[in-house]
Amino acid sequence: MKIAVTGTTGRVGAALVRHFSPNHEIVPLPRSICDLADPRSLASALEQLECDVFLNPAGITSLEMCEDHPELARRVNSDAPAEIASWAAARNVRVYHFSTDYVFAGEDPGLRDEEEIPHPLSAYGRSKLAGEDAVLAWPGNGVIRVSWVFGPEKTSFVDQIFEAALAGQPLAAISDKFSLPTFTSDLSQWTEHILSQHATGVLHACNSGEPVSWHDMAAAVVEEMLACGVISSLPGIGRQSLAEMRSFRAPRPRFTAMGTSRLAGLLGHPPRLWREALVEYVRSRCSGAC
């Protein structure tokens, strides 16, 4: 199978390339080749492209940037996916667009399923939802929603906590916002299942378990660091509230943990627990720190 992948210098794009490369022909489309913000760059990249599947994890993910530059957010997260989907439909190419739990308002606790009607609060969420709709307007395509992604490809919240704890710096994390993390290694495997089964429509792809806060994740990181022996005692982790984060100018939903029953049906089993995935990743970081 010949697979085109955008955003290959990003966390998800790099993970997908690494996973699929051994058994498939990959056409990497980094920003230097395919800049979704530039219609001419995208058109040029698509002009000579041949592939069976088009994976689109590229996008603007900074909520503040999207809030400050809504037209740019719309261009990258919505208009470009629409152009990709139109191009693909004329060539019988399947498109899988990666989206976000931030399409939900997240007003109430619980798990959001694929049937829940999205109500994004931010320019980022609105642009990503518009991108979803544009891709799904063509039959045979899919949307893969992810949340709180971590992995070795690029620094994430998990890495920030790890490095700060290793350096003995003060730790703090938000304790009143809840979702479910996504490990890039697991996401890549799930994507392979999704492609092999020609699944279409919206799919939630995150690790399973009870909804977790950033504070809970930080606690899990340092507990595993202690178990691995890279720190000598458990550091305290300050509790922050979403409301006190003055740097967060864009509104953020509080409860966006996604249910994965549809993904579980494709896999034949539920995605593994978020803590199991996190422990595996932190252990790999601990071995490198020793």
Each residue of 183-218: b (16+ CB within 10 Å) or e?
bbbbbbebbbebbeeebbebbbbbbbbebbbbbbbb
Beta strands in 94-241 (DSSP E): 94-100, 142-146, 149-150, 171-174, 178-179, 182-183, 201-204, 212-213, 237-240
What is the enclosing helix (H) or strand (E) of 187? helix 184-196
Name the percent of the chain in helix, strand, coil, to the closest 5. 45, 20, 40
Burial of 249 (0-12, 13-18, 19+ CB in 10 A): exposed
Q: Which of 270, 99, 259 lies closest to 190 in space, CA to CA?
A: 270
d(CA 67, CA 144): 23
Other beta carbons within 10 Å of 246: 6
Question: Which candidate in 96, 102, 124, 281 is catalytic?
Answer: 124
Contacts of 89 (CB under 8 A, 6+ apart): 138
Does the annotation mark 102 as catalytic?
no
d(CA 100, CA 26): 24
Between the CA atoms of 198, 266, 134 and 123, what dihedral angle is there, to the nearest 10 degrees? -150
d(CA 179, CA 13): 22
What is the enclosing helix (H) or strand (E) of 28? strand 25-29
Question: Which residues are marked as active site?
Answer: 124
